[in-house]
Structure 1
Amino acid sequence: MDHHCPWTTNCVSHTTFPHFIRFLFYACTSMLYLFNLLYPRLSLIWSDRHLPAYLGPSALQLAHLFLLTLTNTATLFVLSILLIRNIWCLAVNTTTIEGWEIERHRTLVRRARFFGGYLDGPDGVKMRIAHQEFPYDIGIWANFKQGMGTANVLAWFWPFAKTLGVEGGLEFETNGFEERGATWPPPDPDRLTRKMPKGFDRDAEAFTYLDEGLSNEETVAAFRERQERDAVRRRKPFADRLEARVVKEKGGLEEDAYDAYDGYEDDEGEDGEHSGEEGWRNSEGERLRDFGVDEDAEFYDEEDDVPLSELIARKRKEQGTPS
């Protein structure tokens, strides 16, 4: 799935993506044609602006022309950006969600490099985080053929082209830059489950109802306060968390103050290590799991970000094929 489109009342996916590209292309083409019809009228009105008003269009006609031009221009601008973006996604063979995954993975790699290649995982486990290439970018032409369902360029523009079959949406060709069996997306320590659920390793807190002695109004107020704290905790920038961690290691913060400042809940394993490392979020504080994305973990060797053309050249050299 790429995203849900309210304008087409449907999900843009492997089967409907070619239709969505055609929809954007013909919508932009139609609005360009409409603008071509509006421009002579606007130009004539502007050139005759010094003539008496009764020689020109009525106030209602002027208002209609102005609103139509404004709406057409704004919509054309927005859909043109969307069309260009989706053509780029088609060229690199990524969906909207995969683009977020790539950005999140790069963020985790940058953080891991600061801590020597490791981040805190559940139950105090140190997880190795290293760079992994996006596996489904198989070259621009191959990406276009796969995304549009055919190598016939004329068929890409045919409005009545058939919908792609769902049988082709389960397995996709990979570029072979990673080891066989490597999965995408790469691991995120914050998405791995604990061996022991929170609270079960602490008898004093397991199955404890903290609001037992509060009235109904106080219970609601306490719940809303926890909601606000949780919203702040989930959106705490990594830089603030890192600063708090450094201050704590130097002995500048008490444990409770560190938990509040750093954004962690008091969730420690037997070795005292905090469980969970904050992963990537978008500008609204949402995680990929909020969109129903399930992620597997696979470990890999780190390598600097290398352009696809260079990786293809290396692969051909290893296979002994001419470039």
Structure 2
Amino acid sequence: MTDASEAADGTALGGAIDAERAGEIARAVVENVRGVIVGNDEAIELLVAGFLGGGHVLVEDVPGVGKTMLARALAASVECSFERVQFTPDLLPADITGTNVYNRKSESFEFRPGPIFANVVLADEINRAPPKTQAAMLEAMAETQVTVDGRTHPMSDPFAVVATQNSIERERTYELPAAELDRFMLRLRLGYPDADEEATVIDRAIGGHAIEAVTPVASTDELRAVRAAADNVEVREPLRAYVARIARYTREHAALGASPRGSIALVRAAQGRAIIGSRPYAVPDDVQAMAPHVLPHRLRTDRGDTDAEGIVSDALESVPVEV
């Protein structure tokens, strides 16, 4: 981790850093997470790319495959504030956003911020909270602000939500509304490890977990600088047109296709991936790698997720690149 005010090459982090330096920092974060999460290299890179692209990430899978640990490893790899919220049926909106408390000494109300004001917020089992509580997350995720009793409070910078949800247990859970799903840049699945990977997981768990030894490899200022570099990744007009054609294909083949917000999310995710590769420009491979994780959860079809994933796959095969 470099000094908070100066990068290793002497570039002031208060300003811009180039794609090469940004890529070095991004890959250091990826490698740090890999020290905790065995296998799932693709998921780790996708998570970091979404994080750098300024997006929120939903990790959905069966219990026990490392969803929560993945989020914790990412947060531990960056020197910034982290809060975990365990979503339960009795969780109230104020438990997330905070509340106004009367101060007798000053005879006034003071705002006590909730855990949503951290840089990285782990929303664990987000689908266990009722819709009213989930709605409290929506303003923060969409507008990077929270309104409590008529007053607006800005979120931390940077701010990202990494949410997990159990994909098989449906009792006492609530389906995430389309508006909230649309705010997640990426949806990831981890899957089971193979035999060798699982043996490594077991070995690492003996005598303590690797997450306890994780130290940050990037400061908050470095993260802001890398995100700024991702924002500046060039996306030329032919590539933007390619993304628009993919989105149009989903609208023609699904009951509800990807919105313009989905197209923007795909571009930003591609920019994040480009930075991991130290490239100041995005290429079709970036779009094609990110689309299966950015678009399907935004679609609505008669046959559910499998059909949505198939539509995106067909789009990538059928829509000409022309870049």
Structure 1 length as normaliser, TM-score? 0.24
- Report which of the two has the higher share of strand: 2
